[in-house]
Amino acid sequence: MSEVELYYYKTCPFAQRTRMVLIEKGIPFDATLVNMPEDREWYLKISPYGKVPCIRHNDHTIYESTVINQYLEDVFPEPAYLPSDPYARAQVRIWMHYCDEYYSKASFDLNLVYTKPDHWDEKINDVLECLRFIDREGLRKLSDGPFWLGDQPSLLDFHYSPFMERVPAYEEIFGFAIPEECDRLTSWMAAMQDLKSYKETAFEKAAHVEQLIDFMTMLAARRG
Ligand SMILES: N[C@@H](CCC(=O)N[C@@H](CS)C(=O)NCC(=O)O)C(=O)O
């Protein structure tokens, strides 16, 4: 049995963040698939939020992808995926916060308006504004690339990658394109594709399109 046990499901972008960190750090782990809603009852006994990912390590349960990944960084510090300088670490945390508070919410709203085409322009515009902001205020100001902080990947790269991996599928479904001026963002997306963790966890665009349409249809049916 490995020291770390991961609970996840394959299409969860939050769990993918943690899978990427485990893979890149070379931490051996056992993985248990959790299917909702059928596994909810037993899973709630392990993780009180009932969400994936969560890990078990040293008889402790740690949940929330951002917290898990920083815990993994603390416990398995090599290779380092956080800078040592406090200001640089703060930048990492600011941009993680931006992904969770702004970008992922704007992209989730696209899922909600899939069955309401008259709302598409407004919601697409919100996503495009986020992409422009990430490119202009984040990626460009933090480094010249190829990764968020320069030559080497950091927790920020693993934080954003699962969400940006889905952008080409959204482009196809909703008929928009990443703005041309976001070329730092598009070259970062290309750089991520060379990483082992990306190759082992990412889905092709066609698979995302199919999964997203299923998900959006399920959300619409649930809302009635
Ligand atoms: N803030 C959480 C979000 C995790 C999350 O929402 N996971 C989804 C799957 S992508 C989940 O487990 N949903 C199950 C549910 O809400 O019942 C994190 O970063 O880990």
Q: Residue 191 burial (CB < 10 Å; 0-12/13-18/19+)? A: middle
Residue with CA nearest ligand 1 atom 5: 51
CATH of span 4-75:
3.40.30.10
The whole model's pTM is what? 0.97
Please answer whether residues 96 and 155 qualify as being in contact, where contact means their C-beta atoms are separated by less than 8 angstroms. Answer: yes
| Residue range 72-101, pLDDT digits in tens | 999 999 999 999 999 999 999 999 999 999
Our answer on whether the CB atom of 206 is closer than 6 Å to any ligand 1 atom is no
Please answer whether residues 208 and 201 qualify as being in contact, where contact means their C-beta atoms are separated by less than 8 angstroms. Answer: no
Domain at 86-223: CATH architecture: Up-down Bundle (1.20)
Q: Is the pLDDT of residue 125 over 90?
A: yes
pLDDT at 140: 98
Place of tokens 């990912």: 53
Our answer on whether the CB atom of 39 is closer than 6 Å to any ligand 1 atom is no
Instruction: Please give the radius of gyration of the chain, using alpha carbons only, rounded to the nearest integer.
Output: 18
pLDDT at 217: 96
| Residue range 48-79, pLDDT digits in tens | 999 999 999 999 999 999 999 999 999 999 99
Q: Where are the domains of the chain?
A: 4-75, 86-223
Structure tokens at 218: 């399920």
Our answer on whether the CB atom of 92 is closer than 6 Å to any ligand 1 atom is no
Residue with CA nearest ligand 1 atom 15: 51
